[in-house]
Amino acid sequence: MAYPTLTIRHGELNDITGAPQRFEDVTFIPARVTLNGSSFPFSHSLHEYADLIPPGMDSIVHPGNDAPWVLGRLMALFNATPASSEFRPEKSCFHESFVVVLHAHDNLAIPFFCTDYYCKSSLIFSTHDPPEPAMQELIARRFWSMLFSDATNVADYESSMFHSGACVWVRFGVEDGEPFIRGEEDGT
């Protein structure tokens, strides 16, 4: 299969790690990426796009407490394996990286992260030479819309993270298609 020539901006593409998924006029590719800058803020949180969730699906997605669903959806969509806790930011359930190819913009490719903080999923873009706000909005809308396009197609899994401030393990995942989050005492 021939791939189009990509123009990568706002970061670096280090390696493609999964199969691409085309959605409307963009393609999302799981990849190891490097963003330009430091101190990357969260933006374009899933709950900001709750209007895109199909009717009746918000009880499955749980906007604002959505990381278990997002990870399960990414696993189903990209056949991804979740990163273990040592490869995730603190107080985070997942941390995945992608490059998006914008076909209507001469195959411009932009790296970004999809991650969460306290189970609230967001996107992260480069802070030095960031994509224009309209471009970030386009990417976010397409990304969340792609995930919502088949909201019940999620992979079952279980994982955990340690919440040091509360001294509890937080278990999270998807069981029989239903996302869950459970806190448990540390026991020490």
Report d(CA 155, CA 176) in Å as an integer: 9
- Domain residues for 64? 7-155
- Domain assignment present for residue 21? The answer is yes
Is the confidence at residue 145, as pLDDT, over 80? yes
Which range is least confidently modeled, 6-15, 17-26, 163-172? 163-172
- Domain assignment present for residue 172? The answer is no
Q: What is the pTM of this model?
A: 0.92
- Domain assignment present for residue 2? The answer is no
pLDDT averaged over the chain?
Answer: 91
User: What are 131-144's pLDDT values in tens digits?
Assistant: 999 999 999 999 99
- Domain assignment present for residue 187? The answer is no
- Domain assignment present for residue 118? The answer is yes
User: What are 49-83's pLDDT values in tens digits?
Assistant: 999 999 989 889 999 999 999 999 999 999 888 77
pLDDT in the model for residue 185: 59
Which range is least confidently modeled, 82-86, 151-155, 161-165? 82-86
Is the confidence at residue 120, as pLDDT, over 60? yes
pLDDT in the model for residue 162: 80
pLDDT in the model for residue 3: 61
- Domain assignment present for residue 138? The answer is yes
- Domain assignment present for residue 39? The answer is yes
Number of DSSP helices (H) and strands (E) in the chain, helices first: 3, 10
Q: How confident is the model at residue 2 (pLDDT cuts 50, 70, 90)?
A: low
Look up tokens 């791939």; give the residue: 3
- Domain assignment present for residue 185? The answer is no
Is the confidence at residue 169, as pLDDT, over 80? yes
Is the confidence at residue 161, as pLDDT, over 90? no
Q: How confident is the model at residue 22 (pLDDT cuts 50, 70, 90)?
A: very high
Number of structural domains (the chain) is 1
**92's tokens:** 């985070």
pLDDT in the model for residue 188: 40
Report d(CA 44, CA 131) in Å as an integer: 13
Please report, for residues 62, 149, 186, the alpha-carbon distance to residue 59 in angstroms, rounded to integers and kept in the order given.
6, 15, 29
Which has the closest alpha carbon to 63: 79, 46, 44? 46
